[in-house]
Amino acid sequence: MAKVALITGVTGQDGDYLSEYLLKKGYTVHGIKRRASMFNTERIDHIYQDPHLEQR
Is residue 24 helix, strand or coil?
helix
Positive or negative, the CA dihedral 22, 23, 28, 29 is: positive
What's the pLDDT score for residue 36?
A: 67
| C-alpha triplet 43, 45, 46: angle, nearest 5° | 100
pLDDT tens-digit readout, 21-48? 999 999 999 998 877 645 677 777 878 7
Residues in the chain: 56
Instruction: Give the global pTM.
Output: 0.67
What's the pLDDT score for residue 27?
A: 95
Alpha-carbon span 16 to 45, nearest angstrom: 10
Nearest one of 23, 20, 1, 3 to 11, comparing CA atoms: 20
